[in-house]
Structure 1
Amino acid sequence: MNRNRFCFFLPFLLLLSCTNQMSKTSPTTATSLPAFDKEGHRGARGLMPENTIPAMLKALELGVTTLEMDAHITKDKQVILSHDPYLNPDHVLLPSGDEIPAADAKKYVLYQLDYEQIRQFDAGSKRNPKFPEQQPVKTRKPLLADVIDAVQAQVQREQLPQPFYNIETKSKASTDGKNHPAPEEFVKLLMQVVEEKNISEWVIIQSFDVRTLQVMQQQYPHVKTSLLVENPKGIDWNLEQLGFTPNIYSPYYKLVTPKLVEQSHAKGLKIVPWTVNKLSDMQQLQQMGVDGIITDYPNLFQEL
């Protein structure tokens, strides 16, 4: 190749090299978040047993763009869906079908049990008393891997748009080693499942625990993150504690004001409040300019 030809092709070769390198280090940047994110909280907690496969499939049926869920780790290092660190007697029954005695309300800690033990409990036949519209169905606390398989099969079968998975790490410093592993191990186990299922670009990792998000930023910077907030200290204080700018700022919905929306957007953040269960509140937040809503009742999105 003569010098003139080399000079002509050099910019192209450099661009190709940079593109290949970006695909290795930041494979998810090309997948944009929804313009308005409709998230089903714990699947569709108001309609089906929370954090179960039936709840996720119901949310899909209702057209959510994102499935929100909670992750815990079992004694044998499995990633399962659960909000509580123990089997909650409010909506979980013993393998026999009997109620969990009040004296044992927090006895069955997930991190102290193997998944084979946990899966024997009925996590759906007892309707959560806080959600009278919830449809009881006998089911179990599922592995994250099984949830992903069920969702992806439904997407393919029904030719649905690919949803995002908004997965919360349920951890805090005071219960490290008791209710869950330390942040590094928690994130490693969670991301092993995500990567095995090849859905990294469709995953958001959210948490109130800034430590797990910091591990994500250090080790998996290509994966989207969301900071959950329930304190009134403001966006600047919360981002300072986090130490970096995530993709999403996710406050309790009563903390949202037009000023907070403006501040979030000025920082390049999407703002997606939780957990909004009244249509009137949804409409008010939408008018403020939020970028999405997390709700127990994804059927309400059809009325927005």
Structure 2
Amino acid sequence: MRKHFLSLLVMTVMGLSAIAQTKVIAHRGAWKQNNLPHNSIASLLQASELKVWGSEFDVHITKDDVLVVNHDADFYGTDIATATLEELATKLHPNGEYIPTLEEFLNIGLQLKDLKLILELKSSGAGKERTIEATSMVIDLIKKLNAEQQVEIISFDYDACLKARELNATIPVHYLMGDKSPQQIKDAKLTGVDYHYSLFQKNPTWIQEFKALGLKTNAWTANKKEDIQFLIDQKIDFITTDEPELALKLVK
């Protein structure tokens, strides 16, 4: 009887640990340790090698209606919103990669079955209308590639988040800006928030308030040991970081 009880206790504790464990997301891929270009295919593959939960990347729309993956609004000096894909292809990442289209990027990412693909939809320099158009194109592409189970959407643009939810009821959508309350996020039927880590430090009850409403919590971009540890101690769901190796070590 005692042995059976101990076995059940161990199984229960293991189950609770699995539920509570914070997951690590590599910010712009895992680029820092090997000096890889941000948002490159190489940084995506390295994130998979590290066995992080997810890899974050940024998406813009070009002048000729192509979704591309890059953090900044320009690609080595060429403004993405006012350039065609052909024009962008005249520049290369330092490792020789072209700027990837979102479809190319997702097709590779979808082969990495244990890696979540965290798609940040950037606001277009050409205005709100183009941002909303890009949102619709992102949802259409996710559906086309049957990627709903592996892709999650984040954005600083609240209207883009609302549009994504309007177009699809199940793809996870998280808001980035940090100016919405837990109840507002719940009422908008979003999945949760991805706020700057300092906001959770200034408002230490927020994580539990979001969780109480069934919402997910993520923090960007926590890189220092003490900041990562604070978030882990608060049982945040996800940490987005430029230091995925450190975060994995602290989580474990």
TM-score, with length taken from structure 1: 0.69
Larger Rg: 1
Other-structure match for 1:110: 80
Q: 2:184, 2:110 → 1: CA distance?
A: 37
Please tell me whether residue 85 in structure 1 is matched to residue 33 in structure 2.
no
Q: Is the 8 A contact 1:119 1:142 kept in 2?
A: no
Q: 1:64, 1:34 → 2: CA distance?
A: 16
Change (3 A) 1:298 1:117: same
Q: Is the 8 A contact 1:53 1:147 kept in 2?
A: yes
Please tell me whether residue 295 in structure 1 is matched to residue 247 in structure 2.
no
Q: 1:114, 1:165 → 2: CA distance?
A: 25
| Matched letter for residue 195 of structure 1 | K
Q: Is the 8 A contact 2:31 2:46 kept in 1?
A: no
Other-structure match for 1:228: 176
Quote the RMSD (CA, aligned, Å).
2.4
* Partner SS, residue 214 of structure 1: helix
Other-structure match for 1:281: 227
Other-structure match for 2:140: 192
- Please show how residues 152-231 of structure 1 align to structure 2 within 5 Å: 152-153=110-111, 155=112, 161-171=113-123, 175-176=126-127, 181-183=130-132, 185-230=133-178
Q: 2:57, 2:131 → 1: CA distance?
A: 20
Q: Is the 8 A contact 1:210 1:241 kept in 2?
A: no
Q: 1:286, 1:181 → 2: CA distance?
A: 37
Q: 1:224, 1:251 → 2: CA distance?
A: 15
Among 49, 67, 76, the residue aligned to 1:61: 49
Gaps of 5+ in 1: 1-32, 93-104, 126-136, 156-160
Q: Is the 8 A contact 2:63 2:84 kept in 1?
A: yes
Could you list the per-position Cα deviations for residues 243-290 of structure 1 after superposition, in whole angstroms to 9, with x for gaps in the alignment? 514212111001114311111111211111000112222112100111
| Matched letter for residue 61 of structure 2 | I
Percent of aligned pairs with the same amino acid: 25
Among 39, 43, 46, the residue aligned to 1:51: 39
**Alignment coverage as a number of residue pairs:** 228
Please tell me whether residue 122 in structure 1 is matched to residue 92 in structure 2.
yes
TM-score, with length taken from structure 2: 0.82
* Partner SS, residue 200 of structure 1: coil
Gaps of 5+ in 2: 1-18
Other-structure match for 2:22: 36
Among 77, 96, 103, the residue aligned to 1:138: 96
* Partner SS, residue 163 of structure 2: helix
Q: Which deviates more, 191-200 or 269-278?
A: 191-200
Q: Is the 8 A contact 1:41 1:294 kept in 2?
A: yes
* Partner SS, residue 32 of structure 2: coil
Q: Is the 8 A contact 1:38 1:292 kept in 2?
A: yes
